[in-house]
């Protein structure tokens, strides 16, 4: 029996078996309902003659993005949907999408239509014809441009690019690109060391590879978003900072613990601000001020950690209230441990500041470990 393109005889020679895709395009999504149809149509046009698939990894978008993708998949087997419940993050979504594929070539692009899908055939041809490990769509290579960015966004991109030099080669013009294609073995060699933090998966790949990656950059013009809203905000800058820290010191100290400690430091400032207001300005007793400041600080620390440190598994609704209760219980015990260790060491002749630091460290480690398991570790239940 003869078959069309992409088919080969089965072992028995009596049936046709469809070959798997040669290229998987992984597209992380959150609230991109208005863009997925046009993106799929663009892929159909530019990848004609190529065995390809597109894997949308959707973080449970409330606008129905996953349902829209499934509608497309019902009439086109090349369209797939991976819907994630209880976790978020562009980098981790890209990783899960690539792990769900068997294709020898993997591409990553955004769903907002700002990446030019017409560059994908050139990327694929470049990988096949060269020894490059990864082909990067660059806005800064000769012939590329950033489109109609305002001055603030262009400045933020330049700063992020300079910071990325600790992770990527100096001659990579667009290390912040989210549009690239790589060989599967390159991904598989780095996947176990990826941080999966934030939104810059390509920089993470360069930093996590066991050997320097050979790369080629192809220029393209960054386009305007067609529908939906930009996901760039101040939290993405935090995520990027955590990625850099993880690659620098993550092998020594968990980056979540660093973030947890930073939030704790901010909490100290909140504590003293509330204590000063209640005790000195409002004239209430010191005990009342201390109690008010302690409770306020616990709520502050929980809220900020939920929004930043555990952004990918953050709690909402009733889970937020249960999480707050478990956080306050754990931190109350941690506070007692802090006092106990500091008092014990001071009583044994240690200098007061060393005893205080030891108490703080013990309390912080307890709070981090217990809340990681008890508060956010059960977020999906």
- Tell me which architecture the domain covering 17-249 has in CATH: Alpha-Beta Complex (3.90)
pLDDT at 79: 97
Both tokens assigned to 51: 């065995």
> What would the pLDDT profile of 154-166 be if each residue is shown by its tens digit?
676 677 677 666 6
Average pLDDT, the chain: 85
Look at 38-47, 128-137, 283-292 and tell me which has the smallest mean pLDDT: 283-292
User: Partners of 23 in the beta sheet?
Assistant: 52, 105
Of residues 290 and 166, more confidently modeled = 290
Domain ranges of the chain: 17-249, 255-374
pLDDT at 352: 75
> Does residue 151 surpass a pLDDT of 70?
no
DSSP character string of 255-278 = HHHHHHHHHHHHHHHHHHHHHIII
> Does residue 251 surpass a pLDDT of 80?
no
From the centroid of its chain, how far is CA 315? Answer: 17
> Does residue 228 surpass a pLDDT of 60?
no
pTM of the entire structure?
0.73
> Cβ–Cβ contacts within 10 Å for residue 69, how many?
29
> Does residue 300 surpass a pLDDT of 90?
yes
Percent of the chain with pLDDT strictly greater than 90: 44
**228 neighbors 35 (Cβ within 8 angstroms):** yes
- Alpha-carbon distances, residue 365 vs 19, 247, 296, 333, 372 (angstroms): 52, 21, 21, 12, 10
> What would the pLDDT profile of 340-360 be if each residue is shown by its tens digit?
888 888 888 888 778 778 888
């Amino acid at each position: 029996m003869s078959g069309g393109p992409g088919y080969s005889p089965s072992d028995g020679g009596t049936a046709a078996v469809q070959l798997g895709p040669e290229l998987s395009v992984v597209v992380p999504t959150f609230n991109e309902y208005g863009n997925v149809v046009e993106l799929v149509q663009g892929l159909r046009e530019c990848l004609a003659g190529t065995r390809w698939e597109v894997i949308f990894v959707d973080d449970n978008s409330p606008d129905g993005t996953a349902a829209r993708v499934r509608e497309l998949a019902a009439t086109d087997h090349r369209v797939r949907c991976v819907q994630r419940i209880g976790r978020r993050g562009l980098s981790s979504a890209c990783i899960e999408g690539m792990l769900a594929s068997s294709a020898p070539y993997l591409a990553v692009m955004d769903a907002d239509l700002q990446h030019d899908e017409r560059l994908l055939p050139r990327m694929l041809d470049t990988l096949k014809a060269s020894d490059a490990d990864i082909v990067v769509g660059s806005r800064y290579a000769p012939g590329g441009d950033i489109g109609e960015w305002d001055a603030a966004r262009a400045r933020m991109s330049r700063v992020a690019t300079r910071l990325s030099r600790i992770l990527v080669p100096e001659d990579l013009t667009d290390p912040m690109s989210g549009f690239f294609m790589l060989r599967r073995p390159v991904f598989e060699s780095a996947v176990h060391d990826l941080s999966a933090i934030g939104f810059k998966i390509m920089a993470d790949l360069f930093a996590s590879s066991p050997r320097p990656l050979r790369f080629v950059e192809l220029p393209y013009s960054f386009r305007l978003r067609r529908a939906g809203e930009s996901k760039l905000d101040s939290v993405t800058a935090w995520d990027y900072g955590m990625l850099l820290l993880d690659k620098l010191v993550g092998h020594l100290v968990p980056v979540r613990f660093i973030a947890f400690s930073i939030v704790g430091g901010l909490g100290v400032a909140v504590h003293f601000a509330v204590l000063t207001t209640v005790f000195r300005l409002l004239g209430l007793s010191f005990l009342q001020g201390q109690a008010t400041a302690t409770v306020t600080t616990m709520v502050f620390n929980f809220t900020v950690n939920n929004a930043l440190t555990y952004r990918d598994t953050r709690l909402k609704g009733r889970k937020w209230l249960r999480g707050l209760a478990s956080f306050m219980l754990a931190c109350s015990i941690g506070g007692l441990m802090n006092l106990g260790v500091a008092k014990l060491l001071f009583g044994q002749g240690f200098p007061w500041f060393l005893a205080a630091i030891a108490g703080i460290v013990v309390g912080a480690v307890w709070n981090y470990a217990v809340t990681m398991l008890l508060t956010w570790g059960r977020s999906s239940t």
